[in-house]
């Protein structure tokens, strides 16, 4: 990738913005924090459900905002809402405050969802480098892994006693670094052909819908990604802290495990280009999907064994690092520029619906124990993996 391009400039800024936005020190003990504040497994899954409801409410209007006014403006609004949502957790003791924070977090995420891909793909097009989309998304995504190496260790150490003052400190530190992320986002530059869309909102949404109808493979790809991601990443990572502790891992060890897996995820995300030169992108999606299914099934059957829990965490971290950048390349090659963010937002609505169905289903199964819960998750991931996808003709 050439260094004198808008794409290189924006990718570098988003990389640093992603780093500071992920200094969420509460993350390595988040589930333990929920339990300490009086939530149980069912309520925790409901908290996740409110995140999906927030996404569902926000996807269409925020995608339209990105196409009409540019990704930068969308990022700034989303960043400010994220700060508010994270700050609410400092005062969250009643379930409704957790629900509100989760809803706002989901709503804020929609200002980035689609807009980031649209910004990078259109920036790459200006220098005829759009074939590097998966590498670019891998580089940006790697920021979240590299920062985790430090955050999870520091967060776990600072919260080693799991008391209230320690939780508050972690949350305040997170808010501080999210303000730094906001500063980096101020310097993003919109590509010339992004923003400025004056099509009425309804017509713009209809055009995004027709873009999906004209390229149904985009829909199948998204379903493939979503049905694997929700059970293998969103649900499993919510309970992996409890799995580790129940299997004999001390709390301070959680940070070390997260740091090691973050390093593995970082290397994998930065190696997307190397992988796609040797394995076809469609094959990569199938291999990683199958890996997710096997990991979830093994964790369900052997979750009392620490070595199995750790192996599942490592493998699922690889899955999360590889699948989305590869999907991003495959999908964006098929989406038209003028409704790129809107189209991706429409697809994300489907993801939110899947979230609601899967979270509520799994929350009903949760009282039966981890074995039943993760076997259902493995079945859902298998359905997603088996959805057939094809790469666009070049």
* pLDDT score of 201 more than 70: no
Q: Give the integer Cα–Cα distance in Å for 322 and 228.
A: 12
How does DSSP classify residue 389? -
Which residue is it, tokens 């709503």?
107
Please give the pLDDT value at position 303: 87
Which residue is it, tokens 């190397």?
274
The CA dihedral of 199, 54, 147, 250, to the nearest 10 degrees, is -170
Whether 126 and 191 have beta carbons less than 8 Å apart is answered as yes
Q: How sure is the predictor about 392, in pLDDT bands with cuts at 50, 70 and 90?
A: low
- Cβ neighbors of 224 (< 8 A, separation 6 or more) are 285, 289, 327, 384, 385, 387, 389
Whether 122 and 336 have beta carbons less than 8 Å apart is answered as no
Among 131, 118, 188, residue whose Cα is nearest residue 342: 118
Lowest mean pLDDT among 46-50, 56-60, 341-345, 387-391: 341-345
* pLDDT score of 98 more than 80: yes
Q: What is the pLDDT of residues 248-290, one digit of tens each?
A: 888 778 778 888 888 898 899 889 989 988 899 899 999 999 9
Q: Which residue has the higher pLDDT, 113 or 225?
A: 225
- Residues 348-354, mean pLDDT to the nearest whole number: 80
Residue 34 CA neighbour count, 13 Å, CB half: 24
- Residues 23-46, mean pLDDT to the nearest whole number: 85
- Residues 316-330, mean pLDDT to the nearest whole number: 90
Q: How sure is the predictor about 369, in pLDDT bands with cuts at 50, 70 and 90?
A: confident
Whether 356 and 49 have beta carbons less than 8 Å apart is answered as yes
Whether 183 and 80 have beta carbons less than 8 Å apart is answered as no
- Residues 238-244, mean pLDDT to the nearest whole number: 86
Q: How sure is the predictor about 29, in pLDDT bands with cuts at 50, 70 and 90?
A: confident
Q: What is the pTM of this model?
A: 0.73
Q: Give the integer Cα–Cα distance in Å for 225 and 237.
A: 17
Whether 121 and 133 have beta carbons less than 8 Å apart is answered as yes
Please give the pLDDT value at position 195: 58
* pLDDT score of 393 more than 70: no
Specify the CATH class of 6-187+200-385 in words.
mainly alpha
Helix axes 306-332, 133-158, angle to 10 degrees: 150
Which residue is it, tokens 């994300």?
348
Q: Count CB-CB contacts under 10 A for residue 160.
A: 15
């Amino acid at each position: 990738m050439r260094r004198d391009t808008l794409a290189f400039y924006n990718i570098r800024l988003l990389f640093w913005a992603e780093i500071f936005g992920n200094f969420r020190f509460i993350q390595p003990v988040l589930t333990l924090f929920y339990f300490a504040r009086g939530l149980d497994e069912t309520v925790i899954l409901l908290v996740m459900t409110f995140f999906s409801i927030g996404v569902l409410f926000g996807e269409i209007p925020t995608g339209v905002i990105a196409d009409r006014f540019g990704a930068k403006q969308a990022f700034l609004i989303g960043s400010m809402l994220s700060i508010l949502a994270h700050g609410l957790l400092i005062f969250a003791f009643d379930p409704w405050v957790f629900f509100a924070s989760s809803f706002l977090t989901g709503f804020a995420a929609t200002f980035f969802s689609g807009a980031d891909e649209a910004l990078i793909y259109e920036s790459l097009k200006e220098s005829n480098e759009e074939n590097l989309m998966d590498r670019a998304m891998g580089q940006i995504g790697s920021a979240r892994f590299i920062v985790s190496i430090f955050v999870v260790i520091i967060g776990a150490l600072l919260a080693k006693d799991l008391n209230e003052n320690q939780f508050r400190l972690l949350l305040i530190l997170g808010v501080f670094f999210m303000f730094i992320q906001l500063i980096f986002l101020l310097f993003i530059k919109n590509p010339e052909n992004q923003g400025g869309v004056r099509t009425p909102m309804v017509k713009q949404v209809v055009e995004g819908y027709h873009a999906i109808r004209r390229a149904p493979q985009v829909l199948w790809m998204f379903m493939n990604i979503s049905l694997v991601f929700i059970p293998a990443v969103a649900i499993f990572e919510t309970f992996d802290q409890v799995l580790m502790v129940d299997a004999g891992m001390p709390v301070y060890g959680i940070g070390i495990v997260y740091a090691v897996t973050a390093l593995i995820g970082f290397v994998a995300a930065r190696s997307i280009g190397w992988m796609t030169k040797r394995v076809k992108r469609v094959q990569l999606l199938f291999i990683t999907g199958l890996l997710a299914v096997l990991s979830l099934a093994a964790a369900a059957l052997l979750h009392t064994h620490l070595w199995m829990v750790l192996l599942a965490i490592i493998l699922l971290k690889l899955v999360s690092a590889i699948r989305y950048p590869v999907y991003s390349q495959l999908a964006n090659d098929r989406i038209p520029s003028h409704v790129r963010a809107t189209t991706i937002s429409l697809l994300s609505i489907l993801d939110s619906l899947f979230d609601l169905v899967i979270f509520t289903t799994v929350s009903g199964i949760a009282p039966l124990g981890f074995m039943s819960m993760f076997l259902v998750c493995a079945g859902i991931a298998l359905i997603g993996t088996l959805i057939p996808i094809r790469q666009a003709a070049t």
